[in-house]
Structure formats: C-alpha cells, structure tokens
C-alpha cells in the first residue's frame, strides 16, 4: 500500500500544482476564461498540461488505491511508479515544448509509459478477481 499512496500523492500534487500554475498564467495574461490562440503561450501549455493530467490521474489513482489493498506481485508496484513518473514526464513536455503544434519527446515517452503502465494496472486488477 505504501507505493500506491506515494504514487497517488505525487500525482495529486501534480494536479494541484498545475491548477495553481494555470491560475498564475491567467493572472499574467489577463485571460480569465478560455485560452489564447497562440500555441506557444504559457497559458495554453499550462491548461493543456493540467487537462491532460486530469484525464489520466483519477483512473490511475483508483487502480493504484485498489491494488494497494490487494496481495499483488512486485511488478505491480513498479507499474505504479512508472505510471506516476510518466505523468510527470508528460507535464514537463507540455510546459517546456516550444509549441503545442509539434511533438515533444518527453510527452511521447510519458504518454507511452502511461498507456503501458495503465494497461498493466488494469490487467493486475482483473487478475485479483480471476
């Protein structure tokens, strides 16, 4: 359960810090709702990073919380860590990319890690009832 809690806490922190960063960017740009048309703007990058995290973190957290209560193999803990680290890589990719219109290696690596680790966690959850 310890790995699950640390990973969930790390991902929850990501959501709250990104939400705060969006607020800061909105204050700097005086754009209270929506986003600017510029794909290079810090506000657009912050909003996209926050939205992307908000799309994946909840289901990952649920899976981790459940699996943390089960007697699972050691690889499940590694899958949790990979998922949490991958979420950070995606965010770093969003915030450091030159433009949202082009791919960024950290976003790609983070996305792949999220997909693979997430699928592994789903398999692990199904295996607990099989």
For residue range 85-120, list pLDDT tens digits in order. Answer: 999 999 999 999 999 999 999 999 999 999 999 999
Mean pLDDT of 25-49: 92
* Structure tokens that stand for 87 in this block: 């979420």
Length of the chain: 130
Query: 99 by DSSP, 3-state: which?
Result: coil
User: pLDDT exceeding 70 applies to what percent of the chain?
Assistant: 100
Centre a 10 Å sphere on the Cβ of residue 99 and count the other Cβ atoms it contains. 12
Residue 1 confidence class, pLDDT cut points 50, 70, 90: confident
**Rounded-to-integer distance, Cα 38 and Cα 54, Å:** 22
Query: 44 by DSSP, 3-state: which?
Result: helix
Closest CA to 48 of 85, 94, 111: 94
Backbone angles phi, psi at 73, to 5 degrees: -70, 160
* Structure tokens that stand for 113 in this block: 């890690």
Q: What residues does each domain of the chain span?
A: 2-127
**Residue 121 pLDDT exceeds 90:** yes
Architecture of the domain spanning 2-127 = Up-down Bundle (1.20)
User: What single-letter DSSP state applies at residue 71?
Assistant: -
User: pLDDT exceeding 90 applies to what percent of the chain?
Assistant: 91
| Ramachandran quadrant class, 97 (left: phi over 0; alpha: psi -120 to 50; beta: rest) | beta
**Residue 130 pLDDT exceeds 80:** no
């Amino acid at each position: 359960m310890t790995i699950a809690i640390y990973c969930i806490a790390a991902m929850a922190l990501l959501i709250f810090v990104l939400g705060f960063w969006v607020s800061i960017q909105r204050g700097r740009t005086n754009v209270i709702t929506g986003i600017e048309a510029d794909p290079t703007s810090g506000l657009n990058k912050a909003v996209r990073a926050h939205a992307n995290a908000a799309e994946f973190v909840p289901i990952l957290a649920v899976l981790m919380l459940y699996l943390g209560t089960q007697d699972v193999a050691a690889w499940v803990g590694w899958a949790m860590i990979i998922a949490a680290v991958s979420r950070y890589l995606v965010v770093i990719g969003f915030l450091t990319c030159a433009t949202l219109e082009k791919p960024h290696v950290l976003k790609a690596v983070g996305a792949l890690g999220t997909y693979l680790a997430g699928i592994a966690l789903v398999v692990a959850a199904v295996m607990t009832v099989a």
